[in-house]
Amino acid sequence: MYTQALDIPQQSADKGPRVVENPEYQAEFDARIDAGGYIEAKDWMPEAYRKTLIRQISQHAHSEIVGMLPEGNWITRAPTLKRKAILLAKVQDEGGHGLYLYAAAETLGVSRDELLEALHSGRAKYSSIFNYPTLTWADIGVIGWLVDGAAIMNQIPLCKCSYGPYARAMVRICKEESFHQRQGYDLLLAMMKGTEEQREMVQDAVNRWWWPSIMMFGPHDKDSVHSGQSARWGIKRISNDDLRQKFVDATVEQAKVLGVTMPDPELKWNAERGHHDFGAIDWDEFWNVVNGHGQGNVDRLAARVKAWEDGAWVREAALEHERKRAAREHQAA
Amino acid sequence: MTQQTPNPAHIEYVTRIGDNALILGQRMSEWCGHAPVLEEDMALANMSLDLIGQARMLLTHAGKLEGKGRDEDQLAFLRIEMHYRNLTLCELPNADFGRTMVRNFLFASFQVLLWERLLASSDTELAAIAAKSLKEARYHAQHAGDWVVRLGDGTAESHERTQAALDYLWPYTAEFFAANPTDEAIAAAAIGPAWSELEAAWEAAVVPVLNEATLTVPARTPFKSYGKFGRHSEHLGHLLSEMQYLQRTYPGAQW
């Protein structure tokens, strides 16, 4: 769902087949990128392009599956059967996004198991938005509205990114995300029409999620380590700050309809710029959470590792059964 | 079948089938995000969604039969424990993936037979729900049956875990076929089959798969459970306190 972490370096280089650099191929590759064409899995590509994509796509995939946890926290407590079904379907969609994205990363010569190992060992990053806790049912609506909303802004440009398998996965993902965003907003509208306590929950959730949501667009353009090269390669089409501004402008109007206020006294329309101004982002908070010191970092990763370790006997059994079945088939033939 | 006056046996019967789907759907949803592989996260969420969808249709129907204006959510979230009518098997904790799969297999195989018979129910609404749900139950039985075979005939550890799951769950399956006067009234009105008619067919469906999984089918014991008659295990109360939390904490709120 979320690509905030795409500019975040990993602690070690991605593994994969070595590609000999070749000036002739490089010229062909550059020409195709410049013409706005797609690079496919079997095409030659520079090693750095391949590594950047593996890092970005796998961080995105990890974000999807870690992202199942904060929302999954409310599935068993959903207030109505309809809301429970919507939330389950949404979290299931996120699992599906994880699958497409791991599959897209696999086209670059890395296995899902290797990528998961990098996640579980803490080497790989995922979107740090998921290290924030979901404290009330309103968080489910606010995640849909703000977090999915920010993710969509980030991801629509990726539908036209230069790597074909990633671009095609993103087309499907974006369609589902915009549905999730509408469902989240609808949940909040229902709560805002309800009791005083329900409205209080919504405002509290907005207060907690607003700043983390606008941090999802990543560091300011002047501080973004990968953005220049990624733009050159057609992986990144619009800058972090431009996307963030677009998100703020769109969201302020939606907040008015909803009847909530954003926790930013400096947020106001600037007629001269034709955009909303907003207060300074607390980047210390952002980097603290990215670097493992958010409220949920330890618990989220522990939950993923536990699921993986608890499931080891199941995966081993499936492999062993398949070996036995193949041996029996071979013997019968 | 159009009800002139509420028929308590009819309401009770539809509620039971609805509660089975509701409570097992709730249990299965606990897996979301915690399964052994991503594909199973999705499969379990999908099957949970199927069951919650069935529960919505059935509880809505039960509410209409009852005629007191209770909708699916009032029935799902605002009854007291002894008014739930699900099979005890559905409320037991998930435990490991092996027990989850064995339970799904035993239950879905039963649901397949029930939906097949309900296609011809004199309650046309129930027959329509059966037609939709039968396809889902067949998939659930196939999915879980495949896993039971893989796990039973996998490694020594998986065999041991799966046999333990079967030994634990098997006694609860006697409840599938237990009957009280409600069931006699239902069979007499051709709303649904007598449970005893399903027992042989259910064994014929599950035993070959358990054999293929190299599992030993446990012998029947005197153990009895009574969830469908309203006497549950200790586990249901905890499940309900979680599931009912928002509805109970904010009475009358709309969501």
Tell me the CATH number at B81: 1.20.1260.10
> For residue A324, which residues of chain B lie inside 8 Å, CB to CB?
153-154
Q: Determine the pLDDT at residue A234.
A: 85
Question: Which of A303, A301, A314 lies closest to A120 in space, CA to CA?
Answer: A301
Q: Which of A63, A74, A80, A300 to mutate to test the interface with B (most CBs of B within 10 A)?
A: A80
**Quick check: B158 and A314 CB within 8 A?**
yes
Q: Is A39:A55 a contact under the CB 8 Å cutoff?
A: no
Tell me the CA end-to-end span of chain B in Å, nearest whole number.
33
Q: What is the C-alpha radius of gyration for chain A, rounded to an integer number of angstroms?
A: 21
**Quick check: A84 and B35 CB within 8 A?**
no
pTM of the shown model? 0.94
Q: Considering the domain boundaries, does residue B1 fall inside one?
A: no
Q: Determine the pLDDT at residue B6.
A: 79
| Residue A261 identity (one-letter amino acid) | T
**Confidence tier at A41 by pLDDT (50, 70, 90):** very high
The per-residue pLDDT of chain B, averaged, comes to 97
pLDDT at A17 exceeding the cut of 80: no
Q: Considering the domain boundaries, does residue B2 fall inside one?
A: no
Question: Which of B14, B199, B192, B186 lies closest to B120 in space, CA to CA?
Answer: B192
Q: Determine the pLDDT at residue B4.
A: 61
**Quick check: B42 and A96 CB within 8 A?**
yes
What angle do the packed helices A164-192 and A81-106 form, to 10 degrees? 160
Q: Determine the pLDDT at residue A15.
A: 42
Q: Considering the domain boundaries, does residue B148 fall inside one?
A: yes
A276-331 pLDDT tens trace: 999 999 999 999 999 999 999 999 999 999 999 999 999 999 999 999 999 999 99
Q: Determine the pLDDT at residue A12.
A: 43
Domain count along chain B: 1
Question: How close, in Å, is residue B25 to chain A by CA atoms?
Answer: 10
Looking at residue A73, the DSSP 8-state letter turns out to be T
pLDDT at B216 exceeding the cut of 90: yes
Question: How close, in Å, is residue A150 to chain B by CA atoms?
Answer: 22
Q: Considering the domain boundaries, does residue B255 fall inside one?
A: no
Mean pLDDT of B205-231: 98
Q: Considering the domain boundaries, does residue B101 fall inside one?
A: yes
**Quick check: A91 and B45 CB within 8 A?**
yes
> For residue A96, which residues of chain B lie inside 8 Å, CB to CB?
42
Q: Is A65 on the interface with B (CB under 8 A)?
A: yes
A42-83 pLDDT tens trace: 999 999 999 999 999 999 999 999 999 999 999 999 999 999
**Quick check: A321 and B37 CB within 8 A?**
no
Mean pLDDT of A148-159: 93
> And the tokens for B101?
């799969």
**Quick check: B243 and A77 CB within 8 A?**
yes
Q: Considering the domain boundaries, does residue B79 fall inside one?
A: yes
Nearest 5°: the CA angle B230, B63, B179 is: 35
Q: Is B149 on the interface with A (CB under 8 A)?
A: yes
B102-115 pLDDT tens trace: 999 999 999 999 99
**Quick check: A85 and B96 CB within 8 A?**
no
Q: Is B175:B185 a contact under the CB 8 Å cutoff?
A: no
Q: Is B52 on the interface with A (CB under 8 A)?
A: yes
Question: Which of A209, A213, A214, A63 lies closest to A136 in space, CA to CA?
Answer: A209
B111-154 pLDDT tens trace: 999 999 999 999 999 999 999 999 999 999 999 999 999 999 99
pLDDT at A135 exceeding the cut of 70: yes
A163-221 pLDDT tens trace: 999 999 999 999 999 999 999 999 999 999 999 999 999 999 999 999 999 999 999 98
C-alpha A186/C-alpha A266 separation (Å) is 27
More confident residue, A8 or A248: A248
Helix (H) or strand (E) holding A66: helix A47-66
**Range of the structural domain that residue B206 is part of:** 8-249
Residues 228-257, chain A: which have Cβ within 8 Å of B? Answer: none
**Confidence tier at A7 by pLDDT (50, 70, 90):** very low
What is residue B62's three-state secondary structure?
helix
Looking at residue B174, the DSSP 8-state letter turns out to be G
What is residue A76's three-state secondary structure?
helix
**Quick check: A314 and B36 CB within 8 A?**
yes
Q: Is A81:B56 a contact under the CB 8 Å cutoff?
A: yes
Q: Is A196 on the interface with B (CB under 8 A)?
A: no
Q: Determine the pLDDT at residue A19.
A: 52
Helix (H) or strand (E) holding A269: strand A268-270
B167-187 pLDDT tens trace: 999 999 999 999 999 999 999
SS3 of chain B: helix, strand, coil, percent, to 5: 70, 0, 30
Q: Is A197:A147 a contact under the CB 8 Å cutoff?
A: no
Q: Determine the pLDDT at residue B3.
A: 47
Q: Considering the domain boundaries, does residue B163 fall inside one?
A: yes
Q: What separation in angstroms does the CA of A101 have from each of A3, A115, B195?
A: 12, 11, 47
pLDDT at A232 exceeding the cut of 50: yes
Q: Determine the pLDDT at residue B231.
A: 98
With 0-12 / 13-18 / 19 or more C-beta atoms within 10 angstroms meaning exposed / middle / buried, residue A92 is: buried
What is residue B87's three-state secondary structure?
coil
